[in-house]
């Protein structure tokens, strides 16, 4: 009698997804936990800063924020499953789509919100800000262009460098037409950071820095900045000169953070937050809510979690086996680090107000999606390196 052959038991989709050797198991757990903790804290802060002025439905904006986080988590997971060599192949397509979206913004399709013509209305209360999606798109393209070194050296080829500078210049020019100074600054830091990590010669770095200074001078000379943007720099230089006018935001932000002292006033008990003394407190000034209601220790916790995200990103960049992955990881770290510094800095008075949200904490739609895509790219690189090491 011939024995029956044992039929292997098929594993469920869930067990395959989280089983030994799966992509999920190879993700950077510390990075995911830090981002998750920031998202939870951000949701509480958004709830606290919006519950008093959402009279119809106090939790309406929080529900929308949670929905955005859910969509962002899906984007993170989807991007993390893409292998780096495919990301490199798709980089020009992603960049082209981002540029087309930026061009649409400066046409009648675009919409002005808070003085910046940066949005495309999608209907149903949803809108898209293409300049946010331009950040990961530019990171991918710069990584692709600068990944191939010249023969006999570890530096990028001159033609590739010129193409990278042209792509960065086009992106920043389209964003400045809106005008969105904060995002333009982020894009310039991404470009400079990737160039430095790519080993570009110092003279090229000097040329780029000089071009940036010249561009800033031209923007100022031709009056491309809106009056409120000029007023923000004036308030930064001397906020006490007009505390009820151009210096109002900075003054109220300092009052809110300072009133929290060490342990804070408690969630939902911040007087500045409840009274809506700080404008845009659920977006650009979300850090003031943390300082007032959670105190110095709570604000320090937020900064520490942001630091963990940056350190894990640098660790991923350090252990990359290929230049493309290393440059992409480095570009994302530069993006997050600069935006975190500017946002926290403007709330405590050491940086001018530029309208940049705090990654993973501030309320936002497209910005949240872009941040999660950035983390997804880091995870995709980490998964690849863990597979190689295994």
What are the pLDDT digits (tens) for 179-203? 888 899 999 999 999 999 998 888 8
| pLDDT at 317 > cutoff 50 | yes
Coil, helix or strand at residue 120: strand
pTM (predicted TM-score): 0.90
The pair of structure tokens assigned to 166 is: 């042209």
- Cis check for the bond before 85: say yes or no (omega within 30 of 0): no
Contacts of 57 (CB under 8 A, 6+ apart): none
Alpha-carbon span 84 to 309, nearest angstrom: 20
Return mean pLDDT, the chain: 87
Tens digit of each residue's pLDDT (9 = 90 or more) over 337-386: 999 999 999 999 888 888 899 999 999 899 999 999 999 999 999 998 76
DSSP element (H, E) containing 111: strand 110-113
Q: Measuring CA to CA, which residue among 135, 230, 140, 214 is closest to residue 179? A: 230
| pLDDT at 142 > cutoff 80 | yes
Neighbours of 153 (CB within 10 A): 9
Q: How confident is the model at residue 1 (pLDDT cuts 50, 70, 90)?
A: very low
Q: Measuring CA to CA, which residue among 390, 342, 387 is closest to residue 232? A: 342
- The pLDDT score that the predictor gives to residue 2 is 46
CB 23 within 8 A of CB 80: yes
């Amino acid at each position: 009698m011939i024995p029956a052959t044992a039929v292997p038991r098929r594993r469920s989709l869930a067990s395959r997804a989280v089983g030994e050797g799966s992509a999920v198991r190879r993700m950077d757990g510390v990075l995911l936990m830090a981002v998750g903790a920031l998202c939870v804290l951000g949701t509480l802060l958004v709830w606290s800063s919006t519950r008093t002025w959402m009279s119809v439905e106090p939790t309406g904006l929080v529900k929308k924020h949670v929905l955005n986080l859910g969509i962002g988590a899906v984007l993170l997971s989807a991007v993390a499953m893409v292998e780096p060599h495919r990301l490199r192949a798709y980089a020009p397509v992603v960049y082209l789509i981002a540029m087309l979206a930026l061009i649409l913004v400066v046409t009648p399709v675009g919409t002005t919100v808070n003085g910046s013509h940066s949005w495309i209305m999608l209907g149903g209360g949803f809108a898209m800000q293409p300049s946010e999606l331009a950040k990961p798109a530019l990171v991918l393209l710069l990584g692709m262009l600068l990944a191939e070194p010249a023969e006999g050296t570890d530096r990028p080829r001159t033609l590739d460098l010129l193409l990278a500078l042209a792509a960065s210049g086009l992106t920043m020019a389209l964003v400045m037409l809106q005008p969105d100074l904060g995002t333009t600054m982020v894009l310039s830091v991404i470009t400079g950071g990737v160039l430095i990590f790519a080993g570009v010669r110092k003279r090229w770095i000097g040329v780029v820095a000089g071009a940036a200074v010249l561009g800033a001078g031209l923007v100022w000379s031709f009056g491309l900045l809106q009056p409120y943007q000029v007023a923000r720099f004036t308030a930064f230089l001397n906020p006490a000169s007009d505390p009820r006018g151009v210096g109002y935001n900075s003054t109220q932000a300092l009052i809110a953070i300072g009133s929290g002292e060490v342990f804070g006033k408690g969630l939902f008990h911040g007087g500045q937050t409840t009274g809506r003394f700080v404008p845009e407190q659920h977006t650009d000034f979300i850090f003031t809510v943390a300082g007032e209601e959670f105190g110095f220790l709570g604000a320090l916790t937020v900064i520490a979690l942001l630091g963990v995200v940056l350190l894990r990103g640098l660790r991923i960049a350090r252990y990359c086996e290929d230049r493309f992955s290393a440059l992409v990881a480095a570009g994302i770290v530069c993006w997050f680090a600069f935006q975190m510094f500017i946002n926290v800095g403007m709330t405590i008075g050491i940086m001018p107000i530029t309208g940049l949200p705090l990654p993973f904490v501030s309320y936002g739609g497209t910005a949240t999606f872009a941040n999660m895509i950035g983390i997804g790219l880091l995870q995709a690189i980490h998964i690849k390196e863990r597979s190689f090491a295994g």
